[in-house]
Amino acid sequence: MLSYKDLTKYFGTTLFDKGFQSFLKETFNDLSEYDVEIDYITSKQTGLELGFTNNDAVYDVEGNVVLERSNPLFSHFIIYPKSLKLISELPFDINFTDRRFEIINKAGKPSQTNEGYSDFLNKNFLVDNYKTGETVITFDFDAQKQTINFIQVRDNNLVEHLKL
């Protein structure tokens, strides 16, 4: 079992780094292959998604072809309730059964809250972000029930489009 912090130690490491590859092989037995289009590798067994920042790859979206490969940096991951098979310690000592008010009681006031309606998702959304040092922890909630859908942990310096 891992703490979410065990994964943050690898932030900034390239996907093909020998130490990171060893960690992945020792920890997971069902990771998907890296896909430059979605920038994630996933474990169906644990539900964990490992995300990468890949600013150097050249990709033809229309032709669905990688023109120039690069070495993506591990920059974020997403934890789902199923991930508790692997992750034993969550941020702020929360549980997936905690509701939003309980998380605020444990973690304090969020650094940033985003809420509204998404035409793309065709539903309301509610997201709280907490910045702790260079790490941002995001709680994505069911807007009505105010229960956790998933938790994203990211390096604030590496995920430019989500920087706080």
Q: What is the per-residue pLDDT across 51-102, written as a single tens digit (0 to 9) for each?
A: 998 766 555 556 555 545 667 889 999 999 999 999 999 999 999 999 999 9
Q: What's the distance, Cα to Cα, between the start and end of the chain in Å?
A: 30
Decide if pLDDT at 36 tops 70: no
Q: What percent of the chain stands above pLDDT 90? A: 68
CATH class of 90-151+155-159: alpha beta
pTM equals 0.87
- Nearest C-alpha neighbor of 115 from the set 105, 126, 123: 126
Kindly tell me the burial class for residue 116, based on how many C-beta atoms sit within 10 Å of its own C-beta (0-12, 13-18, 19 or more).
exposed
pLDDT tens by residue, 91-101: 999 999 999 99
Q: For the chain, what are the domain ranges?
A: 1-89, 90-151+155-159
